[in-house]
Structure 1
Amino acid sequence: MSVRPALPSTDSAGLGRGRALAFVAPALVLIGIFLVFPALWSIYIGLTDYTLTGPSSVNPQLVGTGNITGALSDPLFGNSLWLTLLFVFGSAMIGQNVLGFTLAWSLRGARRWLRRLVEGLVLLAWILPSTVVAYLWVAVLDRDGGTLNALLNTPGTAWLVQYPMASLIVFNLWRGTAFSMLLYSSALNVVPPSQLETARMVGAGRFSTLKDVVFPHIRGHVLTNTLLITLWTANDFTPFLLTSGGPDHRSETLPVFIYQQALGSGALGYASAISFLLLLVNLVIALVYLRLLRRRG
């Protein structure tokens, strides 16, 4: 009769369960206080008719999924969802991806001083505070004394009023491309130079080189970059600083819509329910990309 060896009472580091728990306990407490509890509280509020003022602010009543069904039938919510998808697709999934890779690929063989200069200018747009960047763009797009109207000789064109979503897409493309550029600059280092040289010697065109040599090596980086910039852009509140969701809700993305419902209309329960829907959308997007990354692996 064989005797099973006793299971070790300590972990691989030799700390033991008690000490290991003691090490991670502060982090777990902070996560519980600042992440788990607010998330659960927001979900609970989304199940009530909680308001910023009035009787429901003192004694909110449970409405179950009433806020969610109300949002799904609200044309303003549908409008915000569509504008958010347009904003994400135009400025992040396509815009930042393409421009970031183009800059990284073009600067790969550029002179050192030129590469540093371009990277510094692109990074400057990324690291400046949102309020500063928004103020600069309002000055550029101003109707009466804007820089863009002076350059194009189009006096009186109110870009943020006549073309609000186009302005926001260009703004976010200009501001957020730095991350994609840095990630692709690092990713291109894993492409074997011998394969690029072979493609050049056999006369492969630029498109063929990218399709057959470069992208097979950086496909995982493309998926990772797309996931991150999609989630960041979908939850970006900066558009509020430029247009406040106007005019006539034509630039009211979901984060701005949630803000307007919570603090503008005082419907905190309704806004929390929409926040939960936005969270679900983010989770679905993340799961899709993670599945693609797993298949890639």
Structure 2
Amino acid sequence: MKKFSLLSTRAGAVFLAPAAALVGIFVIIPFFWVIFVSFTNQTLLGRTALEPDFVGLQNYVALFNPATFFTRGQFGFSLVLTIQFVLLSALVGQALLGLVLAWLSQAVSPSLKTFLQTTVIAAWILPEVVIGFAWFAFLDYDNGTLNMIMRSLGLPPGDWLLQQPFRVIVFFNTWRGAAFSMMLFNSAFQSIPPSYFQAADVAGASSWQKLRDIALPLIRGHIVTDLILITMWTFNVFTPFLLTNGGPSYRTEILSIYTYRIAFKDFEFGKGAAVGVVIMLINLVFALAYLRIARIKTAEAE
């Protein structure tokens, strides 16, 4: 009789079986179920709730219908809005702000650096619901902190969530997500040999020149990695729903909120699943790009 070894393939399969079962139940099966539902007209109520009809590509055709594609409240409008949201809050906001904070933290005292990092990371680790309602209270027209400050300065208050809803969610997402970029860039800067910057100091280089000519060329891989990851996360973020509920008049209805409305408010599961499949394909492109960059970095390291 063979002895059971913890290092055997059979033992490995036994230990992996529970995790594989959970992945299959909660990831793989729902993945294929969503794809199947996207080709039906399944809803929550009515005959199609229990007996949905196979409609082929009808849901996808409806999403990309040129006549309504850019109409407010339709898929195309939300797609364009999401692209703008990602460009402004992730690529310009989070990445740039995180880079600046990481670079500035290299030149301050250790205590001030710790305080800065703790403050920024706190905005990232706090629960989204807490952050969302805190910002809602901050921006409230009647009793919000921001309007109270403006009134004390003799400035007119603003109904920010009604007048500038898109700018609000861009600023909110930038403020919340900059911590990841800051931590990544901070680690990247620390990996640069100090002698490079010491030589630049001897040559009389300014802080901007050291960042432009030394730091940025050496952390290009980290920059690309950061841009891809925060783009994926921002593309799927749902937190702005806590501030604006997608409104007013669909002006902040990014794709994640649009999918929620179609599937769980209008109960059009087939159409909502089609939107989900499109989002998965977009995320797949980002994921493949990230894996390729990671493979290139590994090859260069070897």
Q: Is the pair's TM-score, using the shorter chain for normalization, greater than 0.5?
A: yes
How much identity, in percent, do the aligned residues show? 41
| Contact preservation (8 Å) 1:143, 1:158 | yes
> Which SS does the other structure have where 1:247 is aligned?
coil
Partner residue, 1:42: 34
User: Per-residue deviation at 1:289?
Assistant: 3.8
Partner residue, 2:196: 195
Partner residue, 1:276: 277
Q: Deviations over 1:163-205 (max 9, x none)?
A: 1110000001111111111111111111111111112222333
User: Per-residue deviation at 1:287?
Assistant: 2.3
More off after superposition, 73-82 vs 234-243: 73-82
Residue 120 of structure 2 corresponds to residue 128 of structure 1: no
Q: What are structure 1's unaligned runs of at least 5 residues? A: 1-12
TM-score (norm 1): 0.90
| Contact preservation (8 Å) 1:52, 1:262 | no
Match among 49, 53, 56 for residue 61 of structure 1: 53
Q: Which amino acid aligns with 1:111?
A: S
Distance in 2 between the 1:20 and 1:36 partners?
A: 21
TM alignment of 1:133-144, pairs within 5 A: 133-144=131-142
Q: Which amino acid aligns with 1:145?
A: N
Distance in 2 between the 1:151 and 1:63 partners?
A: 56
User: Per-residue deviation at 1:23?
Assistant: 3.1
Distance in 2 between the 1:152 and 1:199 partners?
A: 44
| Contact preservation (8 Å) 1:97, 1:226 | yes
User: Per-residue deviation at 1:294?
Assistant: 4.4
Partner residue, 1:285: 286
Match among 21, 24, 46 for residue 32 of structure 1: 24
Distance in 1 between the 2:19 and 2:288 partners?
A: 25
- Tell me: CA distance 1:294–1:211, structure 2 relative to 1, closer, same or farther (3 Å): farther
| Contact preservation (8 Å) 2:98, 2:182 | yes
Moved segments of 4+, more than 6 Å: none
| Contact preservation (8 Å) 1:144, 1:155 | no
TM-score (norm 2): 0.89
Q: Deviations over 1:60-102 (max 9, x none)?
A: 1111111111111243111100111111111111111111111
Q: What are structure 2's unaligned runs of at least 5 residues? A: none
| Contact preservation (8 Å) 1:104, 1:185 | yes
| Contact preservation (8 Å) 1:143, 1:155 | no
Residue 225 of structure 2 corresponds to residue 224 of structure 1: yes
Distance in 2 between the 1:81 and 1:102 partners?
A: 29
The RMSD of aligned alpha carbons is 1.8
Q: Deviations over 1:98-136 (max 9, x none)?
A: 111111111112122211222111111111111111111
Distance in 2 between the 1:199 and 1:222 partners?
A: 22
| Contact preservation (8 Å) 1:223, 1:293 | no
Partner residue, 2:14: 22
| Contact preservation (8 Å) 1:262, 1:271 | yes
The count of corresponding residues between Structure 1 and Structure 2 is 285
Q: Deviations over 1:241-285 (max 9, x none)?
A: 100110111000000000000111110110010011011111112
